[in-house]
Structure 1
């Protein structure tokens, strides 16, 4: 079971954590800034979100050490909007690891052919599909049917949790219902 236990990272709602807007992704170091709406007193945590997942260097180092094939961890130049920069943040890309792995028999979803989108109430992953993918390639990945979230294997989450990271909750995808519709 643990071999197929996956989580997504979600921003905690208990602080004024800012979102991050990507400005320029075409260079070696990605340009980004604190996004709108910017909290009056933003709290910079180990995990921040936007169109991607953003983590501090300590989390990035854990992920890099785990040989997560198909996952790119790229430094960002994060602007504080006052002309200064905030160091040691990284952007996580798992776009190359996208798998059609929703168990269509056991999940509760609707598929809209007009917009080619799934509206999922209950996620169940197809273990037979996942068994065919080497573990180091599915340590971090996207579900084709729900490409807006990144999934991380339990082993990755366990290592990150040892750091007591701020600003993040880890949600087991199969225990969560109805978030994305």
Structure 2
């Protein structure tokens, strides 16, 4: 049983973007505190019918305010939640996660990747987490994080995933880290 998961879309979803005049309000790793929800627009829409999911992963991991309001983990180490409003055949209120929590979690000897240069991994093929490294970090500091050498994906601890899934959200699925597929990117 996996301890960590990635999130990926499981339905047709537009590419969502923040209008240029609001980009400073929705950085992924720098905290902002906008007074109003940040507008997010559907830039490239699928050619098939689709619904806006309860969770979207662009421009950053975002969860519907209805689900967010019921979560026990509103406060995440190294995280900040920002209200956004997706405007796409209606308006949808979500909370978007800004995350500045990086953890050195990948086992560099056992994982397979194309290149490790200047402290960064590229061309990830398969991921093995270093349980020894993770065990030295208190759980509350590694519930959601990016790897310090491969910051492309968020790692979600099983306790977070289980709580989110208890609401039966639409739009995404959580996949065990061990099932990572290089075709996803990164």
The alignment's TM-score, normalised by the length of structure 2, stands at: 0.80
Distance 1:166 1:97 in 2: 26
Q: Which runs of 4+ in 1 moved over 6 A?
A: none
Question: Is 1:65 aligned to residue 73 of structure 2?
Answer: yes
Equivalence map 1:141-160=2 (5 Å):
141-160=145-164
After alignment, is 147-156 or 111-120 more displaced? 111-120
Post-superposition Cα deviations, 1:3-23, rounded to whole Å, max 9, x if no partner, equal xx111111113xx32232123
Asked whether the equivalents of residues 38 and 83 of structure 2 are also in contact (C-alpha less than 8 Å), the reply is no
Partner of 1:34: 41
Partner of 1:8: 6
Partner of 1:89: 94
Asked whether the equivalents of residues 120 and 150 of structure 2 are also in contact (C-alpha less than 8 Å), the reply is no
Distance 1:115 1:68 in 2: 26
Partner of 2:57: 49
The alignment's TM-score, normalised by the length of structure 1, stands at: 0.81
Distance 1:102 1:118 in 2: 13
Asked whether the equivalents of residues 18 and 34 of structure 1 are also in contact (C-alpha less than 8 Å), the reply is no
Aligned length: 173
Partner of 1:101: 105
Distance 1:98 1:22 in 2: 24
> 5+ unaligned residues in a row in structure 1: which ranges?
none
Distance 1:64 1:88 in 2: 19
